[in-house]
């Protein structure tokens, strides 16, 4: 991936996620364990404030929500989308864990691919080689991974507006819940991939990364066309968003996944990992990409009329 680091270099706005890069080179199963805070894209901070009114002694605490690196399950959505042409309701989703006790969702593969693509951009590495390096790293002697943490993993939590509590006690309770989730994230995300993801998911992850590399040069031009001007002016601050776009476009063009599925997944990834209007912008970028793709591959109107006339 020559030139990647110059186009998508690390910036101050990416430092919160930069610690995720170290996860690819270390972890409890591979090296010294990083702290739970290393996996928090946005730390949930507590800002106590007092709202003065009729009851001045009643404090109000504000607890800010976060978006963090989590693995999520939409296992049945793709199967039902292909068979029925519509997205399946949540109640029809398959279990997030397979019989071997590992994540078996395509979402898990996309999130793993995103974390590796992001790390590869920061380091200027080939993402496929970085993935293989991560897969082949040796574990620390005596390391054991508690698979029960996979069941406790919060898969579908998105960032949102601040949570208002009436008392600091309620805020402290929410903070404790947040810290517990972060500890679970640290354990899961720093574990060796072979212990967390099924073989099928790991193969899918590699296919996604290979597709990204195959389409890298062509998608540079596409992104330059569909991305907003402020993203193109400061790409170093939009590494994660650009990685999501690359993964989505490559999955559509190389792997042939239906674009409705890919767009929904990309928007969800943006909701988890990005700030502000990123989900909406990524949705618009991908829809513009699909529109151009369909226009390029569809035959001219004259040819269609000629085919109709011949068949008649």
Q: Is the pLDDT score of 3 beyond 60?
A: no
* Between residues 181 and 217, the one the model is more confident about: 217
Taking a C-beta distance cutoff of 8 angstroms, is the pair 38, 201 a contact? no
Q: Tell me the per-residue pLDDT of 129-176, one tens digit each, with 9 for 90 and over.
A: 999 999 998 888 888 888 888 888 766 767 777 788 889 999 999 899
Sign of CA dihedral 42, 178, 65, 188: positive
Mean pLDDT for 298-309 is 53
**Average pLDDT, whole number, for the chain?**
73
Amino acid 273: pLDDT: 84
Mean pLDDT for 25-30 is 49
Q: Which domain holds residue 143?
A: 4-311
Domain count, the chain: 1
Amino acid 89: pLDDT: 44
Edge-first strand order for the sheet with 163-165 is 46-49, 60-63, 163-165
Q: Tell me the per-residue pLDDT of 40-92, one tens digit each, with 9 for 90 and over.
A: 333 333 333 333 333 333 333 333 333 333 333 343 344 334 434 444 444 34
Taking a C-beta distance cutoff of 8 angstroms, is the pair 149, 188 a contact? yes
Q: Is 44 exposed, middle or buried (0-12, 13-18, 19+ CB in 10 A)?
A: buried
Band (pLDDT 50/70/90 cuts) for residue 120 is: very high
Amino acid 300: pLDDT: 55
d(CA 301, CA 307): 10
Amino acid 37: pLDDT: 35
Amino acid 155: pLDDT: 64
Pair of tokens at residue 1: 């991936």
Task: Give the CATH number for residue 208.
Answer: 1.10.940.10
Q: Is the pLDDT score of 274 beyond 80?
A: yes
d(CA 292, CA 287): 9
Nearest Cα residue to 99 out of 227, 200, 248: 200
């Amino acid at each position: 991936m020559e030139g990647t680091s110059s186009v998508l270099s690390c910036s101050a706005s990416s430092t919160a996620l930069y610690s995720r890069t170290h996860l690819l080179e270390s972890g409890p199963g591979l090296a010294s364990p990083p702290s739970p805070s290393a996996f928090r894209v946005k730390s949930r901070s507590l800002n106590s404030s007092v709202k003065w009114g009729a009851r001045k002694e009643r404090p109000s605490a504000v607890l800010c929500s976060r978006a963090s690196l989590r693995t999520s399950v939409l296992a049945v959505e793709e199967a039902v989308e292909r068979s029925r042409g519509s997205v399946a309701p949540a109640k029809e989703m398959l279990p997030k864990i397979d019989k071997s006790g590992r994540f078996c969702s395509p979402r898990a593969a996309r999130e793993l691919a995103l974390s590796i693509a992001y790390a590869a951009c920061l380091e200027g590495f080939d993402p496929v080689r970085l993935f293989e390096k991560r897969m082949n790293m040796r574990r620390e002697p005596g390391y054991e991974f508690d698979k029960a943490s996979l069941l406790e993993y919060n898969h579908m939590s998105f960032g949102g507006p601040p949570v208002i509590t009436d008392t600091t006690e309620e805020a402290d309770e929410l903070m404790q819940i947040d810290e517990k989730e972060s500890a679970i994230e640290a354990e899961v995300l720093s574990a060796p991939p072979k212990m967390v993801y099924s073989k099928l998911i790991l193969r899918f992850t590699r296919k996604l990364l290979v597709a990204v590399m195959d389409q890298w040069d062509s998608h540079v031009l596409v992104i330059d066309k569909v991305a907003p001007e402020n993203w193109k002016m400061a790409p170093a601050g939009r590494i994660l968003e650009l990685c999501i776009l690359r993964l989505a476009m490559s999955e559509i063009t190389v792997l042939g996944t239906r674009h409705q599925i890919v767009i929904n997944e990309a928007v969800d990834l943006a909701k988890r990992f990005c700030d502000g209007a990123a989900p909406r912008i990524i949705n618009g970028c991908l829809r513009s990409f699909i529109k151009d793709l369909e226009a390029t591959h569809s035959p001219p109107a004259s040819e269609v009329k000629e085919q109709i006339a011949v068949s008649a």
